[in-house]
């Protein structure tokens, strides 16, 4: 789980799952959206019928990623979100 401070200003990062800015998320919503993004990015066969998700890191369709690319983008995105909450 992320240790989030909801009172701290956060750079506008768009959520890839709900399309809202992360500064509009509380800790619970951030964790839910990150979990959903991780599931979609790392298990494309199960989630292929869901709406198109654009990778917030490289701006390609997340379903076009291979496993290595997906994990790299997920790691970078989680780090970006965490860094903006620190």
Report how far residue 65's alpha carbon sits from residue 4's, in angstroms, rounded to the nearest whole number. 29
Q: Which percentage of the chain shows pLDDT scores above 70?
A: 80
**Total-model pTM:** 0.71
Number of Cβ within 10 Å of residue 43's Cβ equals 12
Within 8 A by CB and 6+ apart from 20, the residues are 14
Express each pLDDT in 21-32 by its tens digit: 888 888 899 889
Express each pLDDT in 30-51 by its tens digit: 889 989 888 888 887 776 666 7
Report how far residue 27's alpha carbon sits from residue 23's, in angstroms, rounded to the nearest whole number. 10
């Amino acid at each position: 789980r992320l240790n989030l401070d909801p009172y701290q200003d956060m750079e506008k990062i768009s959520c890839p799952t709900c399309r809202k800015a992360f500064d509009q998320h509380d800790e619970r919503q951030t964790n839910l959206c990150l979990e959903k993004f991780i599931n979609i990015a790392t298990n494309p066969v199960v989630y292929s019928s869901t709406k198109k998700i654009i990778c917030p890191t490289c701006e390609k369709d997340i379903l076009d990623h291979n496993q290595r690319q997906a994990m790299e983008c997920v790691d970078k995105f989680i780090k970006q979100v965490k860094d903006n909450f620190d």
